[in-house]
Amino acid sequence: MKNPVRLHARIGNATCAQSAIDIGGSGSLNIHLKKSPKNVEPRDDDASLSSGQDLLTRLRADIVKHTFAPETKLKFSDLTERYGLGIGTLREALSQLVSEGFVTLEAGKGFRVAPVSRRDLAEVTDHYIAFEKRALAQSIAAGDDEWETRIVAAFHSLGIIEDLSWAERMRRHGDWVERHRLFHEALVAACPDRWLLRLRSLMFYQLERYRFLSKMNRENSPSRKGTEHRAIMEATVARDAKATALLEQHIRETSDSISGMLSKT
């Protein structure tokens, strides 16, 4: 077992691995479980959309962050106005999101944001935990000093947000989302299995969509989650096998806190 983690690691030179799926951006939290606005106001960065891949990334992000609520009908007229791209490009992106499970397509009814449910959350959680634990175990076996530094840097960056008051943290919620993603990616960055990382990334964002449902009702959770993140970080850089168990407990507790808000179907 290695020495205790060195928290004086140079944050400025540390980098975190990029995910196979990049959510990107930040924004205020908007949760609408039953009905979305008919017309969504375009944001300042809409003009930067120049390709189908850009559209796919933004549209996926807007679904994960509940800009489009579960079961919202995705009308081409609204989407072309919001994203500034043609129907053909939109259809390709929506079809890709159908294959990823973020969107559904019914004959004669068009595209809708996929629904959420307690059953679906349980399945997403089980798959994500399986992929995440395998990826973490492989990272622990293969990781080097640079990998450890990345983890410490990502944890420190996340902790800056988690140590804030609840009101301030909510104001910087977009920052927290990005830093939380980077922390979990840093944990598994040394995993050599590229397919495993792709599957793990997809399930991360599926669970992230559920996590957004609970943010406004978790005022007492930041300090507890910060403690959990520290325990996972310390066990991981110490190459302690309990790191995967701590990670599973962390994920399941988050899912359990969300489950009660959802229907069983």
The overall pTM is greater than 0.85 = no
According to the CATH classification, is domain 44-69+71-113 in 1.10.10.10? yes
Which residue(s) pair with 112 in the sheet? 73, 104
What pLDDT score was predicted for residue 208?
A: 92
The residue type of 208 is: E
Listed in order, the ranges of the chain carrying CATH 1.20.120.530 are 118-259
Between residues 9 and 225, the one the model is more confident about: 225
Going from the C-alpha of 201 to that of each of 91, 100, 129, the distances in angstroms are 23, 11, 11
Q: Give per-residue pLDDT as tens, 170-192.
A: 888 888 889 999 999 999 999 99
Three-state secondary structure of 135-193: HHHHHHHHCCHHHHHHHHHHHHHHHHHHCCCHHHHHHCHHHHHHHHHHHHHHHHCCCCC
End-to-end CA, the chain: 45
| Candidates 3.40.50.10380, 3.40.50.9100, 3.40.50.720, 1.20.120.530; CATH matching 118-259 | 1.20.120.530
Q: Provide mean pLDDT across the span 161-175.
A: 86
